[in-house]
Structure 1
Amino acid sequence: MKKFIAVFALILSVSFAAQAQDKMTMDTTIKLEQTPGEFTQKTLTVPAGTYTFEIANNNTGGDVGFVLVKKGEDISNPANHIKTAYVTAVVPNNETGNSNPTILEKGEYVYFCPLNKTATDNTLIVE
C-alpha cells in the first residue's frame, strides 16, 4: 500500500508540474484599443513572455494596424519593426484583429499605428 501511495503521489506531482509548465508557456493576449488618432492605452507594463496583440478599431473611420519597435530604434525603418507583432491583416472600422504570438524580452518598446496616425511614444515596458 505504501508503494501505491508513493507512486500515486509521484504521478500527481508530475501532472501538476506539467500543468504549471503549460501555463507558463501559454500565449497571453495584450488588448489595445484605437480611437481616431490614438491608442486609449498609452503605457503598459507586462512580465517577459509570449504575447498576442489584440487590436480593437473603435470607430476610427478607417483601417488600423499595429507596429511595435524596441525603444531607441528608428521606427521609420521597417527592419526594426517586430514583424510578429503586426496584426495579421489590417483591422477594419469597428472590428478587432490579432497579431501572431510575439516573444517579448525585458526592456522598453514603443507602439503606434501608421494608418491611424497615432503618436509614436506609446510605451510597453517588459519586466
Structure 2
Amino acid sequence: MKKVVAILVVVLAFTFSSNAQDKMMDNPVKTISLEQTKGEFVQKALTVSEGTYVFEVSNNHAAKEVGLVLVPKGKDASKPENHIKTAYVTAVAKDGETQKTKATTLAKGEYVYFCPLNPTPQYTLTVQ
C-alpha cells in the first residue's frame, strides 16, 4: 500500500511539473532593452504584445545612477503607489552598467516609463 501511494505521489508531482513547464513554454519571459543617455531614453516609444517581460536598463553615461519607473497611463506617475514595482531595477544601474527588473506581466493597454534619477520625459509603452 505504501508503494502504491508513493508511486501515485511521484506520478502526480511529475504531472504538475510537466503542466507548469508547458505553461512556461507558452508564455516565455521576454526582454525589453532600454538605454539611457543624458536626460533621455534612446527608445522613445515601444509597442509590444501582451506577456511577461524583464526590462534591461543600460546607463550610457547618463548619470551617476539610473533606474526605471513604469506606470499605467492615466495614473499619477509622481505617486509611488501607482508604480509597477516589479518594473523597478533590482539595483540602480551605475555609469556604464546594465541592470534588470523582475519579471513583469503586461496586459493590453498603455503605460508610461521614465527615470527619476536621470530626469527623463515620460515615454509611452503600448501593449497590444
1:31-110 aligned at under 5 Å gives the runs: 31-110=33-112
Map Cα deviations across residues 32-91 of structure 1 (whole Å, 9 max, x no partner): 000000000011100000000000101113100000000000000000000000000111
Partners of 1:79 and 1:21 in 2: how far apart? 30
2:125 maps to amino acid: L
2:51 maps to amino acid: G
Map Cα deviations across residues 93-124 of structure 1 (whole Å, 9 max, x no partner): 0100000000100000000000000002x010
Alignment TM-score, normalising by the size of structure 2 = 0.81
Partners of 2:33 and 2:73 in 1: how far apart? 20
Unmatched tracts of structure 1, length 5 or more: 1-17
Alignment TM-score, normalising by the size of structure 1 = 0.82
Partners of 1:38 and 1:24 in 2: how far apart? 34
Partners of 1:40 and 1:20 in 2: how far apart? 36
1:111 aligned residue: 113
Partners of 2:93 and 2:108 in 1: how far apart? 28
Secondary structure of the corresponding residue to residue 119 of structure 2: coil
Two-structure CA RMSD over aligned residues (Å) = 1.6
